[in-house]
């Protein structure tokens, strides 16, 4: 796509006016978008598998050993609930935004084709239809330039920031959550083994089980602290950094809408009247007669 900017009148400037380059770039953007979507799909599948492994391990331990589940830290429960809400919201919004962006890329490609076709309309005598759609094509070319710039901004200010927040920031905390869940299971197992050792009254087993429980408990407490810190940090990034991107995009969207309105107002098309062949012939004869007189 050529580098373009939208001015306050809705006109655009371009460093390259080559039609072929514009089409090629749009195709490249679409292919890049398809590749990114496929990569994200594979990444999500891997994350779901990792999550499933941890959950299966927890269920297996509970079912086979009938291990009592220790009480969760209320602050951790609250943090994990906030993480879940943020994750579900951002994943849903990000997917919709990506689909919308790809649909608009596709629409822009057809808009270029339509504008070119309408502009190339051959005008014949007494052809108000041809005149009208030719002017439509000229206006559509200006609209397409504005839309190309808007799509560039949409990707930079909305699509990519959402996906970066989702794939890096949220997933980093998600990995920590899985690590915490796994450690919590280990802690419950260690507590259960200590209880069994105490029942056996074997001091050697009791000592080993107690040391194991203390070690896992220390690790678990560290992970609890990390979870609470990272969820708070994630919320701050959402409320400051991501919100800033959303605000920037909304400003760009307002400029895009205004630029479109300016183009349409400057390209108002007046429909010419069609003269039926018989009426046209009569007018020509009348004009010829007037000339003869």
Residues 235, 127: Cα–Cα separation, whole Å: 62
**What pLDDT score was predicted for residue 215?**
97
Q: Is the pLDDT of residue 273 over 80?
A: yes
pTM of the model: 0.72
- State the chain's maximal CA–CA distance in angstroms: 133
Nearest to 91 by CA among 40, 166, 157, 35: 166
Please give the structure tokens belonging to residue 245.
């991107």
**What pLDDT score was predicted for residue 58?**
56
**What pLDDT score was predicted for residue 249?**
98
Mean per-residue pLDDT for 146-163? Answer: 96
| HSE, side-chain direction, 13 A CA sphere, residue 159 | 19
Mean per-residue pLDDT for 175-187? Answer: 96
pLDDT for 25-38, tens place per residue? Answer: 555 665 566 566 65
How far CA 123 is from CA of 136, 177, 192, in Å, comes to 14, 68, 88
Would you call 6 helix, strand, or coil by DSSP? strand
Going by pLDDT thresholds of 50, 70 and 90, the confidence category of residue 126 is: confident
């Amino acid at each position: 796509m050529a580098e373009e900017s939208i001015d306050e009148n809705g006109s655009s400037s371009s460093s390259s006016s080559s039609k072929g380059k514009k089409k090629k770039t749009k195709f490249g953007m679409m292919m890049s978008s398809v590749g990114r979507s496929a990569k994200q799909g594979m990444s999500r599948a891997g994350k779901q598998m990792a999550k499933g492994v941890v959950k299966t391990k927890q269920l297996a331990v509970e079912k086979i050993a009938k291990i009592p589940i220790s009480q969760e830290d209320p602050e951790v429960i609250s943090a994990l609930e906030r993480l879940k809400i943020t994750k579900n919201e951002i994943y849903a919004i990000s997917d919709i935004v990506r689909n919308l962006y790809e649909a608009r890329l596709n629409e822009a490609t057809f808009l270029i084709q339509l504008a070119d076709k309408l502009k190339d309309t051959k005008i014949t005598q007494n052809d108000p239809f041809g005149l009208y759609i030719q002017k439509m094509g000229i206006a559509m070319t200006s609209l397409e330039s504005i839309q190309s710039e808007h799509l560039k901004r949409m990707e930079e200010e909305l699509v990519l920031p959402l996906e970066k927040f989702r794939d890096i920031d949220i997933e980093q905390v998600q990995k920590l959550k899985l690590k915490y869940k796994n450690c919590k299971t280990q802690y419950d197992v260690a507590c259960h083994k200590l209880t069994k050792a105490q029942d056996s009254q074997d001091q050697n087993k009791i000592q080993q089980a107690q040391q194991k429980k203390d070690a896992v408990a220390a690790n678990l407490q560290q992970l609890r602290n990390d979870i609470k810190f990272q969820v708070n940090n994630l919320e701050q990034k959402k409320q400051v950094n991501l919100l800033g991107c959303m605000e920037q995009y909304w400003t760009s969207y307002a400029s895009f809408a205004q630029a479109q309105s300016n183009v349409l107002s400057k390209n108002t098309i007046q429909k010419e009247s069609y003269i039926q062949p018989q009426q046209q012939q009569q007018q020509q004869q009348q004009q010829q007669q007037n000339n003869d007189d």
